[in-house]
Amino acid sequence: MSFEWMKRDVPVITDVSKSEFLDVIYQKRNPAVLRGVDIGPCVEKWTAEYLASQGGDREVKIHVSPGAKMDFINKNYAYRSLQFCELIHRCSKEIQDDFFFQKDELYYLRSLGDDPRKGIADVKAQFPSLADDLKIPDFFNQDQFFSSVFRVGSANLQLWTHYDVMDNILMQVRGHKRVILFSPRDANHLYLTGDKSAVMDLDNPDFEKYPDLKLATPYHCLLEPGDVLFIPALWFHNVVSLDFSVAVNVFWRHLDISCYDNKDTYGNKDPVAASKALQIIQRGVKSLEDLPDEYRDFYGRRLVREIEKKTYLVDDKR
């Protein structure tokens, strides 16, 4: 018997004003595709040729993957460096003359700041010759700004399902993308390792291995050039580039600055209070190791119940 996975569409909302975004969409904290927002002349200008000639020759760190699905568990990709212009050339074609591993390898850039270890990405600062082409919608206050990240990838490349801790607008500049999102409330159904889901194939999921995935609701959308996807903090997302893809995403803080880890570079370190709680729980679980199995099971269940009772939102409490 085949299982029909319940899918939903992310709503597409056209010509949304700043106040509609802030008063309605942002308040709901659900993802939305915003179509018709002015993100500047980049949508017309950023062809591969233009980006290669204007984007400069700075070295960028990239993921190189032999297959379309980057798999963080089996680490089927490697980190390498290329000049930005060379990266653009390679991403925009499917068979390479120069390559690291194989002719049909795929590339993915997630830009970093000037100091690759602790520099927070800011596209306009790192690619000044492209800065005027991009208009970041003024949906948030400047003091909430965290980073802006260049995302350039080969056709077909898929980025694993993960969450980030900042609010996000993903501006699709060139190419099309299929994005699948899951609510933070589906966290227990996604087989998480840290911020990533172990389920790699969402098109043909292995429900025998991941039976609880059936309980999750995937939200689908197809991004076109010029579209802006609002991804609220903690919403899981899985992204496939359908063709050569150029995007910029902006992370901004939803919570007060004091809630975030001040060593976060990528916008994905859990808020301070949450990582503290996770550490305490890990210590608590370790302390149960001193007990025989059936006692550990019993106190483990009590712990889970206590956490559910005290933290879950009312409609999810059992």
CA angle, 191 then 194 then 195, to 5°: 90
First to last CA, the chain: 30
Q: Is the dihedral of CA 222, 30, 267, 44 positive or negative?
A: positive
Q: Which of 247, 253, 269, 271 binds ligand AKG (CB under 6 A)?
A: 247
Binding mask 155-174 for Fe ion (x = CB under 5 A): ---------x----------
Nearer to ligand AKG, 105 or 164 (CB): 164
Contact 266, 151 (CB under 8 A): no
159 binds ligand AKG per the rule CB under 6 A: yes
254 binds ligand AKG per the rule CB under 6 A: no
264 binds Fe ion per the rule CB under 5 A: no
Q: Which of 168, 186, 233, 244 binds ligand AKG (CB under 6 A)?
A: 168
Nearer to ligand AKG, 166 or 216 (CB): 166
Among ligand AKG, Fe ion, none, the one that 90 touches (CB under a kind-dependent 5 to 8 A) is: none
| 141-161 burial code (b ≥16 CB/10 A, e <16) | eeebbbbbbbbbbbbbbbbbb
**Count of residues that bind ligand AKG according to CB under 6 A:** 11
Nearer to ligand AKG, 243 or 299 (CB): 243
Q: Which of 69, 90, 189, 237 binds ligand AKG (CB under 6 A)?
A: 237
Question: Min. distance of Cβ 297 from Fe ion in angstroms?
Answer: 36
Nearer to Fe ion, 92 or 249 (CB): 249
Could you tell me which residues come within 8 angstroms of residue 62 by beta carbon, excluding any fewer than 6 positions away? 79, 80, 81, 82, 87, 107, 108, 109
d(CA 318, CA 314): 9
Burial class (CB in 10 A: 0-12, 13-18, 19+), 221: buried
Q: Which of 69, 90, 151, 189 binds ligand AKG (CB under 6 A)?
A: 151
